[in-house]
């Protein structure tokens, strides 16, 4: 049986192999990325992605 896990597919590995966490707003257009060192970046996406 084939299982898809979106959580792992949305966590690209950093050069040091750390975990990157994502936080999206209700529309999924604004999200925040935090790496294993606690650095945070916010991204704003338009409707075209």
pTM of the model: 0.30
Q: CB within 8 A of 37, min separation 6: which ones?
A: 18
15 within domain boundaries:
yes
Whether 40 is in a domain gets the answer yes
Q: What residue numbers bound the domain in which 23 lies?
A: 6-44
What is the average pLDDT across 20-49?
69
Q: Considering the domain boundaries, does residue 36 fall inside one?
A: yes
Position 1 in a domain: no
Q: Is residue 39 part of a domain?
A: yes
In a domain, 28, yes or no: yes
Dist. CA 6–CA 22, nearest whole Å: 12
Confidence check: pLDDT of 49 > 50: no
Q: Is 31 part of any domain?
A: yes
Domain count for the chain, please give it: 1
CA 18 to chain centre: 13
Of the pLDDT bands very low, low, confident and very high (cuts 50, 70, 90), residue 32 is confident
């Amino acid at each position: 049986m084939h299982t898809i896990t979106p959580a792992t597919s949305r966590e690209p590995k950093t050069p040091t192999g750390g975990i990157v966490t994502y936080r999206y707003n209700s529309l999924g257009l604004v999200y925040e990325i935090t790496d294993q060192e606690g650095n945070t970046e916010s991204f704003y996406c338009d409707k075209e992605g």
